[in-house]
Amino acid sequence: MLDLPRSARLAAWGSSALAGTVPVKDAVRAVVRDDEPHAVRWDGDAPALPRLPAARADDLLTLLTSLSEAGGAQLLLALPVPGDPRGLPGPAAVNTVALEAGECVVVEAAGALERWALVPEVVEFGSVLEPGAMVTWSLLGAAPRRAPESSSVAESERELRTALVTATQALADLDVARWREDAADRIAAVRDGGLVRDAVPPAVSPRAARVLQTAARVLAIVDLAVEDDGAAITSFEASSRAQALREVAGVARRAVIAAVNAHTEPARP
């Protein structure tokens, strides 16, 4: 099955919870899944969120509950990587942490000029058969609001069609299924898989859900294709393929951002 980053699930499910279309507990359950309960760590320099209790929330359930009760908050997704910093919330110290994580959720509260960034730190443990993860969201003070940087869902859907063809061809050129024992099953799973049932909340539009599924498939194909350079190829071919894969991965990330952020609307007070 295909999946989305934790930050994408938090932005999508959390927005539905803030809008009152799903219970907060259901949203947290979809984000946490089999992880240990997610903790929240407050940065000492981060301004207090409007109307939150004086005792700062130290877990995700309490934080979302407080935001829901305050009303008017919006959660926006960013998936920054080196060379593609779109959506970074700033300032530089926050951007560095978000780039290292490769994901974050920007919190915008109604009537507030400040913004906040929720950046996950994931520590995995256990085994392949019984995996586990401890997740701590750092709440950091971000730069003032600015215009959204995401594309439209329709534009992303058009770009994804080309990206999917390019990524699939790059994987076919490697012919990894022929010479790597584990590859055939993984390729089949990526080709035929859909989004896991709780990847997005029910309120996400069919078009946005379709874009998210295609984007998740492109990213999964890229992950497979970049594991190695396949059979004997020249360094030029390897470099060209790597560049093409970086470009299609960027298209897919931007599509995830567009589809998730199209769903996030300020909650009604």
What tens digit of pLDDT does each residue of 176-210 get? 555 556 666 677 777 777 889 899 999 899 999 99
What count of other Cβ atoms lies within 10 Å of the Cβ of residue 62? 17
What count of other Cβ atoms lies within 10 Å of the Cβ of residue 175? 12
- The predicted pLDDT at position 145 comes to 66
Task: Measure the CA–CA gap between 259 and 65, rounded to whole angstroms.
Answer: 24
Closest C-alpha among 260, 232, 236 to residue 76? 260
Query: What is the per-residue pLDDT across 70-116, written as a single tens digit (0 to 9) for each?
Result: 787 889 999 998 888 777 887 888 899 999 999 999 998 776 667 88
- The predicted pLDDT at position 96 comes to 92
> Percentage of the chain with pLDDT > 90?
38
Quote the pTM value.
Answer: 0.87
**Whether pLDDT at 245 is above 50:** yes
Antiparallel, parallel or unpaired: β 39-42 and 131-142: parallel
**Whether pLDDT at 150 is above 80:** no
Closest C-alpha among 194, 186, 25, 15 to residue 108? 15
